[in-house]
Structure 1
Amino acid sequence: MRPSDLAREHGLSAQAVRNYERDGFIPPAERTSSGYRVYTEVHAAALRAYLALVAAFGYAYGGRIMHAVHEGDLDHAFTVIDHGHGRLLRDRQTLDAVREAVGHLTATAREQEPAPGAGSAPGAEGSAAPGRPGAPGLRTIGELAHRLDVTPATLRNWEEAGILTPVRDPETGYRGFGANDVRDADLAHLLRRGGYPLEHIATVVHQIRTAGGTDELAGALDGWQRKLTARGRAMLTAATRLDVYLNTVGPAPYR
């Protein structure tokens, strides 16, 4: 097969196929005596596997998986795949937690005081006086950032956008995040991974706070649920095509 033959199946250009070969995502092509590339079913299977991996895990992970396969390190390839599945599971768990939080919110009063001891232990940001950062039931910005695996700067951006409304210690200015802030941060983290802009997330969070209409919220969560389902299906397809490729190339040099 020529580069154009491989490209046609996927709606790509012949140059894209050559680029994938150059970058190590498919094996090196055989060459004719005049130097023209000749691809085989092995290359076709590799291209199908790579594109399926990209659809399931993204370009960075897809490339790492194919490089590991071509280096004969299947354990590393499977570890990268496992990380992708782990992130999908975390996203599902976060979505479930947000749905539960929203359901609880709409069934109870809007304003609730944090339960005693529900937050982290007193920290370094401020005194332990009730309603101040460092008090039981409140998290510091560092603790909340660690919980979400984001930077404190990200949380400050969310605050600036109106997504988070932490209390402030009047003496030090340190932020304290209560139960509602944790809930809103979970929602913001989820929707950001879904590609939603901060302005949209701020609108959704405002609807939750006011316990008003939740149609927009439900639509956002349903849309992200569909994305998670599509990603799960894409992972199944990628696993199938990678398995076909591994069976095509045999045990060596790709073991």
Structure 2
Amino acid sequence: MRPIDISRILGLSTSTLRNYERQGLVPPSHRSQAGYRMYTQEHFAYFECIEAMSPGFGMELTAQVVRGLQAKQVDSVLWLVTKSQADLCRDRQLAERNIQMLESQENGQITRDESTELKWMTIGEASAETSIPASTIRHWEKIGLITLERDPQNGYRRINRSQLRKISLLRTLRTAVYSDTVVQLKQAIAELNHEDVVHAKKIAQETAQYLDKVNQKQLRGMYYLYALCRSLQLLE
């Protein structure tokens, strides 16, 4: 197959195909007598897998997958993919918990969290409660996604329940593949008024819907990964 043939079928530029080859994401191409690149059906299966997997799993993991398959490390590859799916499932469950919590607050139901709304906690305590490393919380503050107050007595960062909600919303997108939608959701969280429970719930719902779409993209990626593994005769 000529590069232009694959380019037309998959909607990828020929320069992208050459770039994937230079990065070792597909086996080296054959050359015609005139010196032009020629790809086989195996190459096409690799390109197809990369194009299908990257939207749901990200290019970094996709690169690990196709390089691993070239090394015949199929089990290691499949566990990498399984972990990514497990992370997505965890984030979706967290998004659902955020929605339920915000719905309770919107309906005026008093919760333990609301009763301690004004209680301040350290960044270490917030990290323990959200399972987000303190370094990540500091990074979100540095790039403007959250704004943390300082204790007037010692200058340490302090966080209340309202700010913790923002951190929880951001956490659902922590492992998400970079996209315009992710950027927009993070920006919406950054601009969120701490007291606007209705808007916070809307963002949580939009995040859950986004993760649902990622799940569908991962399913498509898995289909083409399976097809590639079969074509390489790596599965029993």
Name the TM-score, length of structure 2 as normaliser.
Answer: 0.80
1:156-188 superposed Cα distances (whole Å, 9 cap, x missing partner): 448x76x456572x4323233343332232023
Q: How does 1:1-255 map to 2 (within 5 A)?
A: 1-108=1-108, 112-114=114-116, 138-145=120-127, 147-149=131-133, 151=135, 152-154=137-139, 156-157=141-142, 163=146, 168=151, 170-190=152-172, 194-196=182-184, 200-206=188-194, 209-211=195-197, 214=198, 216-251=199-234
Inter-CA distance 63–31: structure 2 relative to 1 (3 Å threshold): same
Count of residues in Structure 1 that have an aligned counterpart in Structure 2: 225
1:199-229 superposed Cα distances (whole Å, 9 cap, x missing partner): 53244343xx155xx2x44443333222211
Inter-CA distance 232–198: structure 2 relative to 1 (3 Å threshold): closer
Contact 1:101 1:183 in 2 (8 A): no
Inter-CA distance 27–199: structure 2 relative to 1 (3 Å threshold): closer
1:121-174 superposed Cα distances (whole Å, 9 cap, x missing partner): xxxxxxxxxx7xxxxx6532133245223524235448x76x456572x43232
RMSD over equivalenced CA pairs, Å: 3.0
Q: Which runs of 4+ in 1 moved over 4 A?
A: 163-167
The whole-number CA distance in structure 2 between the counterparts of 1:64 and 1:83 is: 13
* AA partner of residue 243 (structure 1): Y
Which protein is bigger by CA-based radius of gyration?
A: 1
In the alignment, structure 1 segments of 5+ residues that lack a partner are 116-130, 132-136
Inter-CA distance 172–230: structure 2 relative to 1 (3 Å threshold): same
* AA partner of residue 149 (structure 1): P
> Looking at both structures, which has the greater relative contact order when contacts are Cα pairs under 8 Å and sequence separation is at least 6?
2
Name the TM-score, length of structure 1 as normaliser.
Answer: 0.75
Inter-CA distance 21–113: structure 2 relative to 1 (3 Å threshold): same
- Between the aligned residues of both structures, percent identity stands at 23
The whole-number CA distance in structure 2 between the counterparts of 1:139 and 1:61 is: 36
Q: Which moved more, 1:54-63 or 1:138-147?
A: 138-147
Inter-CA distance 195–155: structure 2 relative to 1 (3 Å threshold): closer
